[in-house]
Amino acid sequence: MLLATLLIPGCSCNKETPVDEFYLTDDTVNLRIDNRYMFKYSDLTCQLSYHVGTKTFRAFTDNGSDYFNLTMSEKPTKENQGITADLKYTKGTGVITDKGLKFKVVKINDSGKVWLWCSKSKTAACIQLTD
């Protein structure tokens, strides 16, 4: 009986961390890690780009001091699609690189906005794709 009791708590560690519902209602291009904004797009001070050939999305401030890049294994085209991506972003005065993140496409809208979620790293990104 003691063995069964000890094993039960261990089982819950493998559950996927659910996506925050607020994240799905925020349609601003952004990068959030562990529920904290690392980057949030503003029409007044930021720019966006998407390179079709390299499947790289980039959001950055006009002066280039803050940004995030997401280079994806494939273009997100449908909900529940799995995508591997390399993420690079600014944090304070440094640059963080996280390679091989496994994202799930959580939502896509008609204007090309894509909501991505990586459960393992608790990373959420809302990006804007253009062709």
pLDDT of 75-108, one tens digit each? Answer: 999 999 999 999 999 998 899 999 999 999 999 9
pLDDT above 80 (res 72): yes
0.85 surpassed by pTM: no
The residues, ordered by sequence, that sit 6+ positions from 50 with a Cβ below 8 Å of its Cβ are 56, 57, 58, 127, 128, 129, 130
> Average pLDDT for residues 62-78, to the nearest whole number?
96
* Residue 59, token pair as written in the block: 């959001």
- Specify the pLDDT at position 92: 86
The alpha-carbon radius of gyration of the chain (Å, integer) is: 17
Cβ–Cβ < 8 Å for 19, 106: yes
Mean pLDDT of the chain, nearest integer: 86
9-36 pLDDT, tens digit per residue, is 443 333 566 666 656 777 899 999 998 9
CA distances (Å), origin 64, targets 2, 14, 58, 70, 107: 57, 39, 11, 16, 28
Task: Round to whole Å and give the CA distance between 122 and 34.
Answer: 5
What confidence category does residue 60 fall into, taking pLDDT thresholds of 50, 70 and 90?
A: very high
Q: Give the end-to-end CA distance of the chain in Å, rounded to a whole number.
A: 59
Lowest-confidence segment of 2-6, 18-22, 29-33, 120-124 by average pLDDT: 2-6
